[in-house]
Amino acid sequence: MNKILKLILIIIFFNTPHTVLAESYDDKIIAIVNDRVILKSEIQIAIDYLAPEIIQKEYVGLNDQQVIKKVLTNLIETSLLVQAADRFGIKISDIALENKLAEIARSKKMTINELRSTVIQQGQDYTNFIQDIKNQMTIETLFVTQFYSRMNVTEEEIENFIEREKINQYGDFEYDLIEFVIIDEEKLLTKDDINNIYTNIKEEGFLNTKNKYSNMPITIKTLGVVAHNNLPNIFIKAIHNINNSEYTEVISSSRGYHILKVLESKNKTSSFVNEYKVSHILLKPDVMTSNEAIREKLIELRNNIKSIEEFKIFAKKYSDDKASGFKGGDLGYVRTTSLVPAFASKMKTTPIKKISDPFQSRFGWHILYIENIRSVDDTNKIVRKNIANAIRIDKAKRERDEWVAKLKDQAYIEMKDF
């Protein structure tokens, strides 16, 4: 069906078989966009190589004239955006273009040479193919630099999005829970009364506390295993980050006061990431000191360090990283993604309570000490980051669409007769 659609368009509109090369068409200017033109052959090529999924999504149901008009509209918009990118000084480097082609080839499980051969075998002009890719990259860069990167997303916007879309931001948690309820619909109990009961719970548990305050309307209920999204919002906020066998803070509701005990929690979609408590000593080579001399100096320091306290003393005395050196070389808890590759690699392979061999990064030469490693559930951060990105993209797209509309209004666009 797609091939038939293309053939009909080519025969009816262009009056030429689609196997004839674009260069042999009776070419003419179809549109003028500021100081650039769109040729009849460009529309032909654009129609001829519409991807099947694009045809199904955007062109099914359109008649010949509507398809041609839509393709021409897209070409005009592309021309305007590429011209705008030129004015902003946006250029796609040859290296960036080569990397993009390599990425496309990898996605198709091909080499770049195989991709080129495939494009040519399909009847496309490879130079035009490359130019189309470059135009796409140019427009994407324009979108990112002029719109996406300037969009701020507030915490309030993220919270509103979560509330509106009913998104579970903590992951697919299940909790095994016991609920302690102090029934007080009229709120007659004082804050001190509640605090005393809560203190007693932490010291003696639910059952003993209920027996101690037998004159009060208290119920204890085993909720069993409950999915996170089946809990009331006031419970969800209170229970987050509560470890097994721990109690939540007091939760106030219209019924009274609640305390939950988490017997066990399990996150089916948790995203754990390692964080390293690391300290380092940095030495930078200069015109008077070679890399080898720096390396030998660090070996000497490492061999003389007998404890973390001595490491801190040497870091304060010798490290060229003055910010961390002031704190004894302490970088705090860090992740590999926040570090240069050489440092991250060495940090991952150095055992706890050990000092690494000297290694070089773009900042100079280091030795590091791993004090501790902890595993952190990043589910909440990842979900909120993805939501922020979605909001940012939506805001940027709306601003971009308004900007493109103004761009068209201000441009000189002249349509020629087909």
The reply to whether the predicted model has a pTM over 0.75 is: no
Task: Walk along the chain (418 residues) and give the pLDDT tens digit of each residue.
Answer: 444 444 444 434 444 333 333 344 467 888 899 989 988 888 888 888 787 888 888 888 888 888 888 999 989 999 999 999 999 999 999 999 999 999 999 998 999 999 999 989 888 888 888 999 999 999 999 998 988 888 899 999 998 988 887 776 666 678 899 999 999 999 999 999 999 999 999 999 999 999 999 999 999 999 999 987 788 888 988 887 788 889 999 999 999 999 999 998 876 556 678 899 999 999 998 888 889 999 999 999 999 998 899 999 999 999 999 999 999 999 999 999 899 999 999 999 999 999 999 999 999 999 999 999 988 777 778 788 889 999 999 999 899 899 989 999 999 988 887 6
Longest CA–CA span in the chain (Å) reads: 98
Architecture per CATH, domain 273-377, reads as: Roll (3.10)
CATH number (3.90.1150.10, 3.40.50.150, 3.10.50.40, 3.40.50.300) of 172-267 reads: 3.10.50.40
Q: How far apart are CA 360 and CA 342, in angstroms?
A: 7
**Looking at residue 12, what is its pLDDT?**
41
Q: Please give the C-alpha separations between residue 262 and each of 118, 176, 221, 224, 321, in angstroms, as whole numbers.
A: 59, 6, 13, 10, 44
Name the CATH superfamily housing domain 88-146.
Porin chaperone SurA, peptide-binding domain (1.10.4030.10)
The domain limits of the chain are 1-87, 88-146, 149-168+378-418, 172-267, 273-377
- Establish whether domains 172-267 and 273-377 are of one fold: yes
